[in-house]
C-alpha cells in the first residue's frame, strides 16, 4: 500500500512539450469556463457586470500577495496520475501571507514548532512531494510559503462572489440528518474532551456531477452545539469544480466559529490559518491517487492543540508541519473539542429532481472492501496529556445508506478503521 511518504513522479519527456501544449484542448481537464454564470439567456447588464468585476479585482488584490517567485507546471495529459493541474503557485514571504492581515497577527511572525503528541515519530518520512505542482522540480525558497494563485476565472465560477472561499451556511446542522443537501458517511467519537485527531485518508478522484456540488473526505475537530456557535477545524481532500475549476482531488483546510455563516474559509483565502511549510501548497492537486483494483494511496493528517500556546497545528505525514490555526480565532475550541469526526461529505443538489450521481470516496460501497471502497485507517485522538490514543467508542453513521454507506472495524495493523462511500444515484437511491 502506498502511504503519505510515497513519491511517484514519472519523468516528463521534453520533446513532447510543444505538441502537448498545442493539443491541450484534448486534455480531460474541466475548462474554467465550464458552467459559466454568463448563460446565453441571461440579460447582460453592463453596470452590474462592471461592479462585479471591480469587486472581484479588489478581492484578488487582497487574496493574492506579491510573490518573490512564481511556479507554473507545464500542461500535459499522457497519464491521469501525473497531469499537472496548470495552477500558478506563488512563493510569498511568510509574514506577507493572508493570515497576517488579521489585526491580532499584524507585525508578528509565525510561531516555532510545538511539542508533538507522544506516539508521533518526528523522524519518519515526510512525503512532501505528493502534489502535482512539485513535480516541476521547482520549489519555494526558505522564508516563503507556496500559495495557489486565485484567478478572476475562479471567482466568476463562484455562485456568490461575496462568499467566495466559504462553505454555504447551514442552519441547524445535525449529524443524524441531511442538512441543505449535504450528505455524510462518517465515523465519530463524542462525550469526552479531545485535543486533536489523526488518521490516514485514502485518496480517490470521485466524479462530481455538476459545478456546484463537491465530494470530500476529511477530519472534523468540533466544539460547540450544532447551531450558530459551531466551531470546526477541518482538513482532508476534496473535488470541487466550483472552487478550483477542475476535477482533481486537492488537499484542503477549513475553519469556522459560527456554523459557516460569516467566519472562516477554505485554505488561505482569508486571514486565519498560518502556514509555516515552504513545500506544501494548500489547495493544490494531489498525486498519485488510488485506482479500482489497483494501487492504493493515502495521506496521513494530524491536528492537535499545542499544550503551551493553545493553537491548533496541522501535520502531514510524519513530522511535516503545515501550519496552525491561532486559538484566538475560536470560542469553544479555545479550550478543547467535544467531538471528532472522520469521513465523507457530498452536496446533493437534486438537479432534475433526482438524487445526485456525485460519488463519495471511490464511488463504491463500503462492502466492496480494500482496493475498491475508500477507507480511513489508524484513527486516533489526542488526550488532555498530549498523548495519541486509540478510539474506544467509534460510532458510524450514513445519512442515506442506499446512496453512500459506511462499515467500521478494528485490527492489529489498521487499528480503528472504516470503509465508506458510494455512487449516489442508483436503483435504491432515486
Instruction: Cite the active site residues.
Output: 234, 345
With 0-12 / 13-18 / 19 or more C-beta atoms within 10 angstroms meaning exposed / middle / buried, residue 61 is exposed
* Cis-peptide into 288, omega within 30 deg: yes
Q: Which position has the grid cell 469553544?
A: 332
- Residue 64 grid cell: 493574492
Contact 310, 334 (CB under 8 A): yes
DSSP class of residue 216 equals E
3-class secondary structure, 359: coil
DSSP string, 241-288: HHHHSS---EEEEEEESSTTSSS--BTTSSS--EE--SS--TTPBB-S
CA distance 416 to 395: 11
Q: CB–CB of 364/285 below 8 Å?
A: no
Nearest to 203 by CA among 74, 316, 350, 319: 316
For residues 11-31, b (16+ Cβ closer than 10 Å) or e, as one string? ebeeeeeeebeeeeeebebbe
Distance from C-alpha of 403 to C-alpha of 239, rounded to nearest angstrom: 18
Strands 388-390 and 374-382: antiparallel
Per DSSP, 409 falls in state E
Helix (H) or strand (E) holding 18: helix 17-22
Amino acid at each position: 500500500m502506498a502511504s503519505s511518504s510515497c513519491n511517484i513522479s514519472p519523468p516528463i519527456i521534453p520533446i513532447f512539450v510543444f505538441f502537448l501544449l498545442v493539443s491541450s484542448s484534448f486534455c480531460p481537464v474541466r475548462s474554467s469556463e465550464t458552467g459559466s454564470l454568463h448563460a446565453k439567456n441571461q440579460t447582460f447588464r453592463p453596470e452590474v457586470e462592471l461592479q462585479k468585476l471591480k469587486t472581484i479585482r479588489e478581492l484578488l488584490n487582497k487574496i493574492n500577495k506579491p510573490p518573490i517567485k512564481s511556479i507554473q507546471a507545464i500542461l500535459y495529459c499522457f497519464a491521469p496520475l501525473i497531469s499537472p493541474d496548470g495552477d500558478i503557485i506563488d512563493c510569498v514571504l511568510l509574514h506577507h501571507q493572508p493570515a497576517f492581515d488579521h489585526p491580532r497577527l499584524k507585525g508578528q511572525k509565525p510561531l516555532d514548532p510545538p511539542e508533538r503528541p507522544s506516539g508521533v515519530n518526528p523522524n519518519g518520512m515526510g512525503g512532501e512531494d505528493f502534489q502535482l505542482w512539485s513535480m516541476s522540480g521547482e520549489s519555494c525558497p526558505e522564508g516563503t510559503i507556496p500559495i495557489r494563485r486565485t484567478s478572476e476565472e475562479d471567482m466568476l465560477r463562484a455562485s456568490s462572489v461575496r462568499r467566495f472561499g466559504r462553505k454555504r451556511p447551514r442552519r441547524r446542522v445535525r449529524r443524524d440528518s441531511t442538512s441543505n443537501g449535504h450528505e455524510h458517511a462518517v465515523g465519530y467519537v463524542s462525550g469526552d474532551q479531545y485535543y486533536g485527531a489523526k488518521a490516514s485518508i485514502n485518496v480517490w478522484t470521485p466524479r462530481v456531477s455538476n459545478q456546484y456540488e463537491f465530494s470530500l473526505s476529511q477530519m472534523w475537530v468540533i466544539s460547540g452545539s450544532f447551531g450558530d456557535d459551531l466551531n470546526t477545524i477541518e482538513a482532508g481532500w476534496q473535488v470541487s469544480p466550483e472552487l478550483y475549476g477542475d476535477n482533481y482531488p486537492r488537499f484542503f483546510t477549513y475553519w469556522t466559529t459560527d456554523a459557516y455563516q460569516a467566519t472562516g474559509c477554505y485554505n488561505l483565502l482569508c486571514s486565519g490559518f498560518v502556514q509555516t511549510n515552504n513545500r506544501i501548497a494548500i489547495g493544490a492537486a494531489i498525486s498519485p491517487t488510488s485506482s479500482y483494483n489497483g494501487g492504493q494511496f493515502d495521506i496521513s493528517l494530524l491536528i492537535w492543540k499545542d499544550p503551551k500556546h493553545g493553537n491548533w497545528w496541522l501535520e502531514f505525514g510524519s513530522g511535516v508541519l503545515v501550519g496552525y490555526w491561532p486559538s484566538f480565532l475560536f470560542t469553544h475550541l479555545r479550550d478543547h473539542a467535544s467531538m471528532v469526526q472522520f469521513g465523507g461529505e457530498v452536496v446533493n443538489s437534486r438537479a432534475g429532481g433526482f438524487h445526485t450521481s456525485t460519488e463519495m470516496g471511490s464511488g463504491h460501497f463500503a462492502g466492496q472492501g480494500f482496493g475498491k471502497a475508500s477507507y480511513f485507517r489508524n484513527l486516533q485522538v489526542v488526550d488532555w496529556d498530549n498523548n495519541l490514543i486509540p478510539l474506544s467508542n467509534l460510532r458510524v453513521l450514513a445519512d442515506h445508506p442506499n446512496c453512500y454507506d459506511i462499515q467500521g472495524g478494528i485490527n492489529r495493523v489498521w487499528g480503528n478503521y472504516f470503509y465508506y462511500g458510494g455512487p449516489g444515484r442508483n436503483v435504491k437511491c432515486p
